[in-house]
């Protein structure tokens, strides 16, 4: 038997002002995107903003449906749009925010497992690490890349084995 350890490093901030102007803008765009959420069932408004290598910022919000599996998370809405509009442009970073009960959550929310896999595939596709910012009013997390969020990930090479 061999024992391995997978460690995730998270930088924790208390204010958006601790970031440079481009990352402040990205986080603000994620917060703004929560307002276009279609979430009449959960009332849990999630927004994502993606910064591409070309400087473009793409926003997305969660879109619910009464047939729950038919909805889509904010991260995938934004990423699929970015990948379809700019298929050859790597993603530098993504910011995610959640608005619920009339305010932003105090703690950051992480992407779900499906979103992590989609984000990881984009990171792998462009061979470029994607920085992650998770916004909360009292905490903001920064993670170096998606692999930090999904250390035992399924990758396309496994399909060939």
The secondary structure element, H or E, covering residue 81 is: helix 74-85
Which residue, among 9, 46, 22, has the nearest Cα to 144 in the 3D structure?
9
- Going residue by residue through the chain, which has 161 residues, state the pLDDT in tens, using 9 for 90 and above: 999 998 999 999 999 999 999 999 999 999 999 999 999 999 999 999 999 999 999 999 999 999 988 899 999 999 999 999 999 999 999 999 999 999 999 999 999 999 999 999 999 999 999 999 999 999 999 999 999 999 888 877 778 77
**Spatial distance between the Cα atoms of 12 and 133, rounded to a whole number of angstroms:** 10
Name the residue range of residue 49's domain: 30-136+143-151
The total of structural domains in the chain comes to: 1
DSSP 155: -
Backbone angles phi, psi at 16, to 5 degrees: -65, -25
Q: For the chain, give the longest Cα–Cα distance.
A: 51
Residue 101 forms part of a structural domain? yes
CATH for 127: 3.40.140.10
Question: Would you call 75 a catalytic residue per the annotation?
Answer: yes
Q: Of the residues 64, 75, 123, 142, which is catalytic?
A: 75
Give the pTM: 0.94
């Amino acid at each position: 038997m061999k024992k391995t350890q997978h460690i995730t490093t998270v930088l924790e901030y208390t204010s958006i002002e601790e970031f440079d102007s481009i990352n402040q803008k990205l986080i603000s765009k994620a917060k703004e995107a929560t307002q276009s959420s279609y979430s009449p069932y959960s009332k849990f408004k999630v927004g994502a903003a993606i910064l591409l290598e070309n400087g473009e910022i793409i926003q997305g919000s969660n879109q619910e449906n009464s047939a729950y599996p038919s909805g889509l998370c904010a991260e995938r809405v934004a990423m699929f749009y970015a990948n379809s509009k700019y298929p050859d442009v790597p993603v530098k970073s993504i910011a995610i925010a959640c608005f619920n009960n009339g305010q932003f959550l105090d703690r950051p929310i992480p992407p779900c497992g499906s979103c992590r896999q989609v984000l990881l595939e984009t990171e792998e596709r462009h061979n470029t690490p994607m920085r992650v910012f998770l916004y909360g009013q009292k905490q903001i997390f920064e993670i170096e890349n998606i692999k930090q969020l999904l250390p035992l990930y399924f990758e396309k090479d496994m399909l060939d084995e």
